[in-house]
Amino acid sequence: MTGSRHATVGIIGAGPAGLLLARLLHRSGIDCVVLEHRDRAYAERRQRAGILEQGTVDVLRACGAGERMDREGLVHDGIELRFDRRAHRLDLAALTGGRRVTVYAQTEIVKDLIALQLRSGPPLLFGAQALAVTDADTDRPRIRYLHKGRHHTLTCDYVIGCDGFHGITRSAVPEHARRTYERRYPYSWLGVLAHVPPSSDELVYAHSARGFALFSMRTPAVSRLYLQVPNGTDPADWPDDRIWDELEARAALDGAPDRKPARGPLTAKAVLPMRSSVTEPMRYGRILLAGDAAHIVPPTGAKGLNLAVADVTVLARALAHLHHTGSTALLDAYSATCLRRVWRAEHFSYVMTTTLHTAPDQSPFETRLQISQLDRIAASRHAAAELAENYAGLPLE
């Protein structure tokens, strides 16, 4: 059996990008349908980024999704860099005119947006597997999808792909019409969740000859920790004690033997590959890509989720402009507008990653260059401000 329907906008993927776009369109009076292959429980437990730029926080508040974030999120005015067994605090707020970051897990953003969507938003279909996107070069592209054992067709004015790099939308764009720029890094992250209070009030980025380490948090009672590991690492090869020993060694400071991470039970372990990717353009006919469907950044700069929010903010504004004025000017500029920010974030993430990590074949010369760059950030307000402005997030266009 089959069924068909029409919507102005069809959104594939109910991650933060797809859900936020649906919310913004709904508030502008634009009808849309969101299709999500997985069930609600899976969507709400996908572990991803948790560092929100000031602009992301502002957008979530403005669309009515900021109440719990403001109550439970952890606002940070700075970050700490550790290198050469020294510590330097970067005061984000002072260096950027008051811009801050907020620690609030992606899982919680998704829960908040789903709750809003189901209560007072356009249709959100879980378990709806997009099978194909067709007719992109016409004024009525179609999404064929499977839902509850039935085949359906959603005819749209525009199809928005928020379904990731391997999603159906990106692959629907002909290869001759897109170009993908990629870089793979020679290391990965071993990420763990620990039921122990964070060892620092702010994030700690640690450079050492043993490799990179990041001390983050999810809540005041749960730490999120990362270690640089070789590609292909099996988490089973890293028992709890080995992880804690390595975190302690990589963050060690001269003259501060007591500044060690508090230990506790580890409840999750996973290895995250590191890569960069940008697909250009972000539009083909009436197919538009957003978030991971268009670009991926290594997590060092905390840009992935924030770039997705920036994409859909620009896109929602462009679709609203079209809806209210009939002009496609902003929509025609969507790809170029977003790619300016994407490439800036890619460069920042690349610099953060290559400055803080130790490559497998790294020479002592290269290590001294890294230390020199970190010394420059610690000594120069101009260098520190450049890092702070990018980390806290550039203003949304």
Is residue 186 annotated as part of the catalytic site, yes or no?
no
Ordered by start, the domain boundaries in the chain are 2-76+102-182+275-352
Catalytic hit among 145, 158, 187, 391: 391
pTM of the model: 0.95
Polymer length of the chain: 397
Is residue 152 annotated as part of the catalytic site, yes or no?
no
Catalytic hit among 16, 198, 261, 299: 299
Residues 6+ apart with CB under 8 A from 395: 55
Is residue 76 annotated as part of the catalytic site, yes or no?
yes
Is residue 185 annotated as part of the catalytic site, yes or no?
no
Per-residue pLDDT of the chain (397 residues; tens, 9 = 90+): 467 899 999 999 999 999 999 999 999 999 999 999 999 999 898 767 689 999 999 999 999 999 999 999 999 999 999 999 999 999 999 999 999 999 999 999 999 999 999 998 789 999 999 999 999 889 999 999 999 999 999 999 999 999 999 999 999 999 999 999 999 999 999 999 999 999 899 999 999 999 999 999 999 999 999 999 999 999 999 999 999 999 999 999 998 777 788 899 999 999 999 999 999 999 999 999 999 999 999 999 999 999 999 999 999 999 999 999 999 999 999 999 999 999 999 999 999 999 999 999 999 999 999 999 999 999 999 999 999 999 999 988 7
Is residue 226 annotated as part of the catalytic site, yes or no?
no
Catalytic hit among 205, 226, 284, 334: 205
CA distance 13 to 135: 19
CA distance 272 to 49: 12
Catalytic hit among 76, 152, 207, 357: 76
CB 305 within 8 A of CB 52: yes
Residue 1 has what pLDDT? 42
- By DSSP bridging, strand 150-161 and strand 179-194 are unpaired
Neighbours of 164 (CB within 10 A): 18
Catalytic hit among 284, 303, 334, 357: 303
* CATH T-level assignment (fold) for domain 2-76+102-182+275-352: FAD/NAD(P)-binding domain (3.50.50)
Amino acid at 239: P
Q: Which residues of 215-253 are buried (b: 16+ CB within 10 A; e: fewer)?
A: bbbbbeebbbbbbbbeeebebeebeeeebbebbeebbbe
